[in-house]
Structure 1
Amino acid sequence: MTAPQTAPAAPWTPPAPAAPVRSARDRRRTGAEIWLVLGLSLGQSAVYAIVNIVARLTSGTALAEQSATLNASRSARPYLDLTYQLLGIAFAVLPVALALYLLSARGPGTLRRIGFDAARPGRDTAWGFALAAAIGIPGLAFYALGRALGITVEIQASALSEYWWTVPVLILAALQNGLLEEVIAVAYLHERTADLGWHRLTFIVTSSLLRGSYHLYQGIGPFLGNVVMGVVFSWFYTSRWGRHRVLPLVVAHTLLDVVAFVGYAFVPDAWLAALGVG
């Protein structure tokens, strides 16, 4: 008895783009919106990072002898520190809500359009793990190379004291980074630059340079490494594999940061010293 015939799956096609903004007034408004969203989030971080790297390079101390702490304690009082940490995370993700709200002006289906929904949980998670592996392993080697070349500062992934809430807060901080960077630097920026009629390649270059710029405070090496990560992520998002779904990028970024923030505490000191990690 032969198996019933099934129709072949239709090839994936990208969602139809919104009609490009035509009038000069609407183009100015869209451009102003992009600048405002970035100015309240990653663009602001990029400006501070640029100032920071200039200060580092002109300080008279070699980059290799400088350090950066990613998750610093904000108070010696445990529960006050916890309060500050949670407030910082909550306010940091508000620009994500703002970006999604502005995109929703197009009408229903905004979250589905950028793949910020639960339509494909298994596929999104699998791609997230694959992207994390593809970026994380070379990234560690790139960091070690940057330290050896003297173009990367010593990075301390966490300086939080060991309390019961430390690991959950570090996981939330990782999720915050994943949401903020991937939703704004990839999904939101792609949608809005598409509205302006940008070519895909122009978007990929812009998104990648933006990603690298707000990591400049870590040195030249992390800038270059994050530009590469930006190219991979923004290319994947717009490819037939990524299918304009941002959740795999959020999963991948969160996993990378969880390993960096939480795993940092479990790596032997000898290994950290070999990598030049504080």
Structure 2
Amino acid sequence: MSMSAVKEKSKQKMPASFPVRRMDYEFQDMPKYWCNNESTFTHYFTGLSTLFPEGESYFVRSVRALRENIKNNPQLDRDIGAFIGQEAMHSKEHHAFHVSAQQYGLDPESLEKATGIILKAIERTFPKKWNLLVTVGLEHYTAVLVVEMMKNVNQLMTDKTIRDLWLWHSVEETEHKAVAYDMYEYLYGRGLDAYIPRVAIFTFSLVLITLISNTYQFVLMSRDRQLLNLKSWAKFAGFTLQAYRKLVPQFFSYYRFDFHPNDTDESEIVAQTKVKIGLAPEQSTFIH
């Protein structure tokens, strides 16, 4: 057998660092207000959820656009394949949740479509490197949020299926949190010319996702005729202030010159979360 054939065979056997899981949640029996029994909480997280189907499809396209350039790094290539598989499942399951949420007449699917319009405009405008950087930055943003989801926020979710959706998604976001970053670093290095666009595009992405998610919450509150529910807004404001005291310093760690997603270790909370939602032992993986 030739040396190239041996290398190819070895590459085919090399597993990704994390699995792709197929989930098929059923949301038909969800209550109207499934987060803290409050309209503000429920509509915030529903609005955030409507970013995922189109957002994660955009992430997949951004890494696929440059994947050919990392083919000589077999482990990273396998991890990118698993990243694509996980993100595709997240898009599928959050879309199924939005379809079921139509029963309350709030039309979250329309917000999915709006997200798609915005992201496709960005994709057409930005070069491939910048589109990858939007993905890198928002993967960090998400990786920070999901730790808080696994530790605390899931306890506010009164519907088990929706709670499990968010916790499964959180586990997988943690598993693949470094893939897009490692791809960027492999392609463009760690020098100043890689750092400056990295933090510039992150700033843009952070502002964009904050504006969109807050706008979507207001839209859903308005459609639900809850916009003037001041008591619910006050509860949500208290929750937000408390959460962001913890989250903001972690978001801003991305601005360190020597930042890497694996600077933090979430293996303990991930293991606990897997037990909580009943992920089989053979589906478990390490956080690398």
TM-score, scaled to structure 2: 0.30
Highest relative contact order (Cα 8 Å, sep 6+), 1 or 2?
1
What's the TM-score once normalised by structure 1's chain length? 0.30
- The structure carrying a bigger helix percent of its residues is 2
Looking at CA atoms only, which structure, 1 or 2, has the larger radius of gyration?
A: 1
